[in-house]
Amino acid sequence: MQIYLLRHGIAEDARPGRPDAERALTPEGSKRLREILKRARTAEVVPSVIVTSPYVRARQTAEIAADILGYTDPLVPSTALIPMASPVDTWAEVRSLRSVPNLLLVGHEPHMSGMTGFLLGTPELAVDFKKGALVRIDVFEFGARPRGVLKWMMAPKLAL
């Protein structure tokens, strides 16, 4: 299985009295994300399923990804992709989708960097996962702990 981890694009700043989950992408965030995902399309990123955090900025990111990458099925919302989610819980969800060849997970920090380390079997790995970054990890074993291989990471500055 090819697993793609995508961090949401640039979002509005937090505001007092407004839940973090309601922060949306900024116009600049949407624009940059579209450019990054067009580059991903040239790398033949074709998701079979897109699972997204239910937070507004992640859902908007997933919608843009679906549009640019030609994904037409419904997005799958999951609380296993919120910012403080456990990689173990996310892995349980991934394992339930093991028959899917290409899975795109859309979420937040610190979860995306933690999930990267977890999928590579090195949970202590530090990853600088910028907004709009995309990682591909190929996973071949679906036991209690994954065994993945890092294929590439697309950093926004390099993609733009």
Dihedral (CA of 60, 62, 94, 145) sign: negative
Give me the CATH number covering residue 46.
Answer: 3.40.50.1240
Torsion of Cα atoms, 78 then 84 then 86 then 92, to 10°: 10
Please tell me the total count of domains within the chain. Answer: 1
Give the burial class of 130: count Cβ atoms within 10 A of its Cβ; 0-12 exposed, 13-18 middle, 19 or more buried: middle
Question: Which two structure tokens, joined as six digits, stand for 156?
Answer: 């926004």
**Cα–Cα separations (whole angstroms), residue 16 to 12, 82, 150, 152:** 12, 20, 39, 38
Please indicate, yes or no, whether the overall pTM of this predicted structure exceeds 0.75. yes
C-alpha to C-alpha distance for 147 and 137, rounded to whole angstroms: 10
For 74, the domain range is 2-159
How many Å from the N-terminal Cα to the C-terminal Cα in the chain?
A: 27
pLDDT in tens, the chain (160 residues): 999 999 999 999 999 999 999 999 999 999 999 999 999 999 999 999 999 999 999 999 999 999 999 999 999 999 999 999 999 999 999 999 999 999 999 999 999 999 999 999 998 998 999 999 999 999 998 999 998 999 999 988 776 5
